[in-house]
Amino acid sequence: MAAVKIAVLGSGSWGTALAVHLARKGYSPYLWSRSSRQAEEINETGRNDRYLPGVDIPAGVMAVADLEEAVRRSEAVISAVPSHAFRDVISSSIKYFQTGTLLINAAKGIDENTLQRLSEIYSEICGVKTGCYSVLSGPSHAEEVSTGMPTAVVVASSSQESALKAQDILMSVDFRVYTNIDVAGVELGGALKNIIALGTGISDGLGYGDNTKAALMTRGLAEITRLGMAAGASPLTFAGLAGLGDMIVTCTSMHSRNRRAGIEIGKGKTPEEALDAVRMVVEGFKTTRAAYRLSGVMGIEMPITSQIYRVLYERGNPREAVSALMGRGKRKEIEDIGIKL
What does the pLDDT look like over 7-57, one tens digit per residue? 999 999 999 999 999 999 999 999 999 999 999 999 999 999 999 999 999
- Does residue 167 sit in the same domain as residue 189? no
- Does residue 30 sit in the same domain as residue 51? yes
Question: Is 39 inside any structural domain?
Answer: yes
- Does residue 220 sit in the same domain as residue 312? yes
Within a 10 A sphere around the Cβ of 138, how many other Cβ atoms? Answer: 23
Which residues, including other chains, have CB under 8 Å from residue 171's CB and lie 6 or more apart?
177
- Does residue 27 sit in the same domain as residue 171? yes
Nearest to 322 by CA among 207, 198, 203: 203
Nearest to 93 by CA among 133, 66, 112: 66
What is the rounded distance in angstroms from the CA atom of residue 251 to the CA atom of residue 323?
A: 20
The C-alpha angle with vertex 10 and arms to 8 and 14, in degrees rounded to 5, equals: 85
The secondary element (H helix, E strand) that includes residue 198 is: helix 183-206
Residue range 305-309: mean pLDDT, rounded:
98
- Does residue 211 sit in the same domain as residue 302? yes
- Does residue 114 sit in the same domain as residue 19? yes
Domain of residue 211, residue span: 184-337
- Does residue 140 sit in the same domain as residue 151? yes
Question: Is 87 inside any structural domain?
Answer: yes
Question: Is 1 inside any structural domain?
Answer: no
Q: Please name every residue paired with 176 in a beta bridge, in sequence order, or none if there are none.
A: 152
The pLDDT, as a whole number, for residue 113 is: 93
The pLDDT, as a whole number, for residue 341 is: 35
Q: Which of 181, 202, 228 is the last residue of a domain?
A: 181
Cβ contact 137:187 at 8 Å: yes
Question: Is 287 inside any structural domain?
Answer: yes
Model-wide pTM > 0.85:
yes
Q: Which residues are catalytic?
A: 193
The pLDDT, as a whole number, for residue 287 is: 96
- Quick check: 340 pLDDT over 60? no
Question: Is 119 inside any structural domain?
Answer: yes
Question: Is 108 inside any structural domain?
Answer: yes
Number of domains into which the chain is organized: 2
For 115, counting Cβ atoms within 10 Å of its Cβ (0-12 exposed, 13-18 middle, 19+ buried), the class is middle
